[in-house]
Amino acid sequence: MKQSKLTKAARGRECQVRIPGVCNGNSETTVLAHYRMSGTCGVGMKPNDLQGAWACSACHDACDGRSQLIDRADARQLHAEGVMRTQAKLMSEGVVAAC
């Protein structure tokens, strides 16, 4: 599958999800972790890359439910905050623009 510019831009970045006690702080493992929400994704359909947060492997695992180190609702909230932080960074770098 071809990666988008926003997916590629996640490489080597600081984790923006930052789950306390979970985040490994390893920018070498950072990927774009898509926030899944009803109406924006489904079977065979990923959310738009603007609905993604730069997440280290440990935070990504928690957000996707692969690890049980944090309550699912807390992980979703921290993931959403990470999406907003990621968007703010992309805007400050001129990669995306607010309307």
**Domain boundary assignment for the chain:** 5-37+45-92
| pLDDT tens-digit readout, 73-87 | 999 999 999 999 999
**pLDDT at residue 1, rounded to an integer:** 56
Pair 57, 90: CB distance under 8 Å: no
Pair 34, 46: CB distance under 8 Å: yes
Q: What is the pTM of this model?
A: 0.88
Pair 1, 32: CB distance under 8 Å: no
Question: Which CATH code is given to the segment(s) 5-37+45-92?
Answer: 3.30.50.20
* Residue 42 in this model has a pLDDT that exceeds 80: no
Read off the tokens for 16.
């923006």
| Neighbouring C-beta atoms of residue 79, cutoff 10 Å | 24
Cβ neighbors of 25 (< 8 A, separation 6 or more) are 14, 15, 56
| pLDDT tens-digit readout, 46-80 | 778 889 999 999 999 999 999 989 999 999 999 99
Catalytic positions are 34
